[in-house]
Structure 1
């Protein structure tokens, strides 16, 4: 094992105490550490990331409840600004909303130009989507639907212009480097309406697992979570924000102060 891989392994193991101390954590540390090392060994570049960020990724696995099991595809270890981050997939966002009880069911889909699609807001809201069986064309929209515990249904639809605005907030896209949008555009665009939908879901007694996952995903993708964080505090989820080490969810771009990052993210949210 190379020195860098050995250093990465050391950081993964060092996360054990914090991992096991997370309340209501049902994940097994040894299994998750094994999954993490599989990912790092498969892509040795991940081992060159800031050592503390590697440790924080493993802790975030416990805080979000999202396993790194590659078969389930709920979350990935991704390099970003010389740091390793835990990036939930759209399936991971759905998983944490459903398993936490915040929603009974969540669906997210992309709409292509040759699909049959119609929706309406107002007093009789609906979505009608019939995907084309072939030659679907380009993506023109994405939507997410949440079936709430009280029987209500809420949904959000975002057109291509709105999706592209979100895409442009990605630091990787800004830099023109490798980005998940190049390989998994549909999966990435499913995440945007899920995040927007979450902002309008009831926040009363929202589980800390949900708060942390959505905050982590928002920060990873260059959006502002401050309003949802404040609402969660009002709903007695403040313990998470008081106790979580700042480094675990601190993805402020290199070379920027927190104030500068907050200002830029607020401008991005307003534009979206």
Structure 2
């Protein structure tokens, strides 16, 4: 009886070994992505900041990809490249708002590709991770608020919001306090914000610049402020100086999406698709 079972097992192993690829069950797109992430674990671990593990980043990325059928259609190289970008910055993709993996149609190559975008919360996390900033925030100024500011050797910012009959927005500002006791702020008028939107926004007639203008304006002032903060590469919580330089560049030039607005991007025009 034992000999018979041993023979059966031997035959099963032999049959599996001699199966042709056509006979083997093909991997699903989800399984293929999982296999690629498994192979990439050492590379992911090599670029991750210390506060995130490769296993956690891989699990989160795989969950995000599996729950979005469009991501499973993406070119595998662009998809894995986006995961590596997320890992390098130590930002977890998904609905928490740190970062997003965005599928888009590249009409030039007729393929679906993935683009990595930093979320609003991810941008704030990178700044706070420096260890040099205690608080950072952005606010809207309305026409009936008390608002004064001065730039110079002794910068001054006073904002007393009106609780009723606020009026129309007239300005936006971002302000931060540094742990060494210093502070910094930047103010943009409503007209300056409209000019900024018209110059840089890929879509000003629909999307968040229409439905969430004030949120986009606040994020814009934050990004402008970040350019002038004394955040050194060595304080960004990355493994080496080269990675730190890339993170610093991301802080200055990052593309961002709002936590409630995940766009679809046309690969040929670069425009957001409704």
Q: How many residues align?
A: 223
Q: CA deviation at 1:255?
A: 6.8
Per the alignment, residue 173 of structure 1 pairs with: 203
Judging by fraction of residues, say which structure has more strand: 2
What value does the CA root-mean-square deviation take over the aligned residues? 3.7
Structure 2: give runs of 5+ residues left out of the alignment. 1-26, 107-112, 239-243, 257-265, 270-274
Q: CA deviation at 1:192?
A: 1.9
Q: Does 1:76 align with 2:100?
A: yes
Q: Tell me how far apart the structure 2 counterparts of residues 79 and 125 of structure 1 sit (CA, whole Å).
A: 44
TM norm structure 1: 0.64
Per the alignment, residue 46 of structure 2 pairs with: 21
CA spacing shift, 1:203–1:36, aligned 2, 3 Å: closer
CA spacing shift, 1:11–1:32, aligned 2, 3 Å: same
The partner residue of 1:151 within 167, 181, 189 is: 181
Q: Does 1:43 align with 2:68?
A: yes
Per the alignment, residue 117 of structure 1 pairs with: 147
Q: CA deviation at 1:27?
A: 0.9
The partner residue of 1:212 within 243, 246, 255 is: 246
Matching of residues 204-243 of structure 1 within 5 Å: 204-207=232-235, 209=238, 211-216=245-250, 218-221=252-255
Higher relative contact order (CA 8 A, sep 6+): 2
Per the alignment, residue 57 of structure 2 pairs with: 32
Contact 2:99 / 2:122 at 8 angstroms: preserved in 1? yes
Judging by fraction of residues, say which structure has more helix: 1
Structure 1: give runs of 5+ residues left out of the alignment. 223-252, 257-272
CA spacing shift, 1:43–1:199, aligned 2, 3 Å: same
Q: Tell me how far apart the structure 1 counterparts of residues 39 and 194 of structure 2 sit (CA, whole Å).
A: 39
Three-state SS of the structure 1 residue aligned to 2:203 is helix
The partner residue of 2:229 within 201, 205, 223 is: 201
Larger Rg, first or second structure (1 or 2): 2
Contact 1:141 / 1:160 at 8 angstroms: preserved in 2? yes
Per the alignment, residue 116 of structure 2 pairs with: 86
Q: Tell me how far apart the structure 2 counterparts of residues 218 and 79 of structure 1 sit (CA, whole Å).
A: 24
Q: Does 1:104 align with 2:134?
A: yes
CA spacing shift, 1:171–1:25, aligned 2, 3 Å: farther
Matching of residues 53-68 of structure 1 within 5 Å: 53-68=78-93
